[in-house]
């Protein structure tokens, strides 16, 4: 079922059934490229959440007792459906989040690959036998933590939710996930892949609603054994504190403000091209997006020229248009924040080389922007921009620049460019971040861990480490009879 705009009618998924919710209350879904309402998202009531919690409790009992081969087969079927439906999922994503179709399709395909990785990794979540005293069998077992409450943002509408779903379900946990109200259609399309694959009722429950109310009820419920969150640092702190009241473990992937250090021996043109590609991906609305560019003074001129060239080459438009390479910002809040950051930098003496303003058209479009002369006290050098802004700052001393790069409370991603193995090692050892890329600005991959340090969170998603939060370790000491 679709709306007049060709956008799917959105429902919640509770206890194996698609539903509107107890009161029928909804919120509008807006296309960021047109600012027009394209649908409505149902808002959960406390009774809806109670049903989801009861379903998750029963779903966990069923799912953890399902043979591993059967669980794996269901999840592999879900991965196949995600792959098959990737173009359809991308079209929904373009309508509600603005992401270009090519990026959305790639996101869905990578999501399926991540799921496949976690399925197989979970089959090898081995325990161990420890040598002990005669007559005693000492073992360590890895068991699912239990029902999970997960909260995800809008910037990766299929990849974000699935990082939680793929890990939890592969580890034999059930889950209640609250996806973003801005991008509910994509989340529902993802959940439909699991439902259609034969996942037992109650194992996966999808809800939408007022974030504060939903988080308070889910986290305080005795049913929930783990809280997993991706989002801003302030909200992450609130949820972690709430979970701490009930002694519940949390997995936190929070914001960042990723530095890029281009050393004096790097290729400035190659570095600028790679950095610009990463900067304008998803309109800069990525927690790991490069956002502070420190370039050695000997390279700053060619680097800046190439970066400006790359910014001018970006085709900004509706994500549904085939030629679009960067869509709109996802909501008006982001647009106003980006405008404020640019105005503040300019007021403090920065120069806008390209962009710097909202596009004169319907939709929340902001031009790819490159700035120079941005002072250290400018807001954009301290606040995560989450938009297509690139402040370029020259440096002379690498040690001093490492200190500046590490001075913020964030520590999610960092990037470095150098042709020297010794300098690369200095960057690797010196940058305080959970994710570091040298000579490229690569994103997350399913086979390797991602996560932050300092106020950017804790715990890891991706790789074998992705299952750690969803499994508990039990020691069993069995004294044999006789």
Mind listing the pLDDT tens digit for each residue in 468-481? Answer: 999 999 999 999 98
CA distance 7 to 31: 10
CATH class, 12-254+456-475 region: alpha beta
- Please name which of 270, 230, 267, 301 lies closest in space to residue 444, comparing C-alpha atoms: 230
128-147 b/e (C-beta count within 10 Å ≥ 16 → b): eeeeeeeeeeeeeebebbbb
Tokens found for residue 118: 């976690």
* pTM, 2 dp: 0.95
Question: pLDDT band at residue 4, thresholds of 50, 70 and 90?
Answer: low
- Please name which of 408, 420, 407 lies closest in space to residue 263, comparing C-alpha atoms: 420
* Strand, helix or coil for residue 417: strand
For residue 54, count other CB atoms closer than 10 A to its CB. 16
pLDDT at 69: 96
232-264 b/e (C-beta count within 10 Å ≥ 16 → b): ebebbebbbebbeeeebbbbbbbbbbbbbbbbb
- Please name which of 475, 390, 472, 469 lies closest in space to residue 166, comparing C-alpha atoms: 469
Q: Is the pLDDT of residue 147 over 60?
A: yes
- Please name which of 463, 468, 458 lies closest in space to residue 118, comparing C-alpha atoms: 463
Mind listing the pLDDT tens digit for each residue in 242-263? Answer: 999 999 999 999 999 999 999 9
Report, as an integer, the average pLDDT of 229-248: 97
**Residues sharing a CB contact under 8 Å with residue 309, sequence separation 6 or more, in sequence order:** none
Tokens found for residue 476: 């069993």
Report, as an integer, the average pLDDT of 130-134: 93
Alpha helices in 173-314, H assignment, sequence order: 184-196, 211-220, 233-245, 268-280, 300-312
For residue 301, count other CB atoms closer than 10 A to its CB. 12
> Residue for token digits 């994503």?
93
Report, as an integer, the average pLDDT of 206-222: 97
Mind listing the pLDDT tens digit for each residue in 282-317? Answer: 999 999 999 999 999 999 999 999 999 999 999 999
Q: Which residues pair with 150 in a beta bridge?
A: 177, 228
97 burial level (CB within 10 Å; 0-12, 13-18, 19+):
buried
Cβ(284)–Cβ(330) below 8 Å? no
CA distance 328 to 450: 26
Q: Is the pLDDT of residue 217 over 60?
A: yes
Mind listing the pLDDT tens digit for each residue in 387-414? Answer: 999 999 999 999 999 999 999 999 999 9
Q: Is the pLDDT of residue 22 over 80?
A: no
Domain ranges for the chain: 12-254+456-475, 258-446
Query: Strand 413-417 and strand 435-438: pairing?
Result: parallel
pLDDT at 360: 95
CATH superfamily for domain 258-446: Aldehyde Dehydrogenase; Chain A, domain 2 (3.40.309.10)
- Please name which of 29, 52, 54, 24 lies closest in space to residue 39, comparing C-alpha atoms: 29
Q: Is the pLDDT of residue 127 over 90?
A: yes
Alpha helices in 261-373, H assignment, sequence order: 268-280, 300-312, 332-347
Looking at 19-33, 43-57, 326-340, which range is the least confident one? 19-33
The residues annotated as belonging to the active site are 253, 287
Percent of the chain with pLDDT over 70: 99
Q: Is the pLDDT of residue 49 over 80?
A: yes
pLDDT at 1: 54
Mind listing the pLDDT tens digit for each residue in 314-346? Answer: 999 999 999 999 999 999 999 999 999 999 999
Question: H-helix or E-strand containing 60?
Answer: helix 46-65
């Amino acid at each position: 079922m679709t709306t007049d705009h060709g956008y799917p009618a959105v429902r919640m998924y509770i206890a194996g059934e698609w539903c509107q919710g107890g009161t029928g209350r909804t919120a509008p879904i807006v296309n960021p490229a047109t600012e027009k309402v394209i649908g409505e998202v149902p808002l959960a009531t406390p009774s809806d959440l109670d049903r989801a919690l009861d379903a998750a409790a029963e779903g966990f009992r069923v799912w953890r007792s399902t043979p591993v081969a059967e669980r794996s087969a269901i999840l592999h079927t879900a991965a196949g459906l995600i792959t098959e439906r990737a173009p359809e999922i991308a079209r929904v994503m373009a309508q509600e989040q603005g992401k270009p179709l090519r990026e959305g399709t790639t996101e869905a395909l990578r999501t399926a690959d991540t799921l496949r990785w976690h399925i197989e990794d979970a089959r090898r979540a081995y325990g161990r036998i420890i040598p002990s005293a005669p007559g005693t069998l000492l073992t360590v077992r890895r068991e699912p933590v239990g029902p999970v409450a997960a909260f995800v943002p809008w910037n990766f509408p299929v990849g974000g939710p699935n990082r939680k779903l793929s890990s939890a379900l592969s580890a034999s946990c059930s889950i209640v996930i609250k996806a973003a109200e801005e991008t509910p259609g994509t989340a529902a399309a993802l959940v439909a892949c699991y439902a259609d694959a034969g996942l037992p009722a109650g194992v996966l429950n999808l809800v939408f609603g007022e974030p504060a109310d939903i988080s308070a009820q889910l986290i305080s419920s005795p049913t929930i054994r783990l809280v997993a969150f991706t989002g801003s640092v302030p909200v992450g702190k609130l949820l972690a504190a709430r979970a701490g009241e009930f002694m519940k473990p949390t997995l936190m992937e929070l914001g960042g403000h990723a530095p890029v250090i281009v050393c004096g021996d790097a290729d400035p043109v190659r570095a600028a091209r790679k950095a610009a590609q990463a900067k304008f991906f998803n309109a800069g609305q990525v927690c790991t997006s490069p956002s502070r560019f420190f370039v050695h003074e000997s390279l700053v001129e060619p680097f800046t020229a190439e970066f400006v060239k790359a910014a001018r080459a970006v085709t900004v438009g509706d994500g549904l248009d085939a030629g679009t390479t960067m869509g709109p910002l996802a909501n008006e809040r982001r647009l106003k924040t980006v405008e404020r950051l640019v105005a503040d930098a300019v007021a403090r003496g920065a120069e806008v080389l390209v962009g710097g303003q909202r596009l004169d058209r319907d939709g929340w479009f902001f031009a790819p922007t490159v700035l120079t002369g941005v002072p250290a006290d400018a807001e954009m050098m301290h606040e995560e921009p989450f938009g297509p802004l690139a402040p370029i700052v020259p440096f002379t001393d690498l040690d001093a620049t490492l200190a500046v790069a590490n001075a913020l409370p964030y520590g999610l991603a960092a990037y470095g460019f150098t042709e020297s193995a010794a300098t690369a090692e200095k960057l690797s050892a010196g940058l305080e971040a959970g994710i570091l890329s040298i000579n490229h600005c690569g994103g997350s991959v399913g086979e390797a861990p991602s996560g932050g340090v300092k106020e950017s969170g804790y715990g890891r998603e991706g790789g074998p480490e992705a299952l750690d939060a969803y499994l508990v370790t039990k020691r069993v000491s069995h004294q044999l009879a006789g």
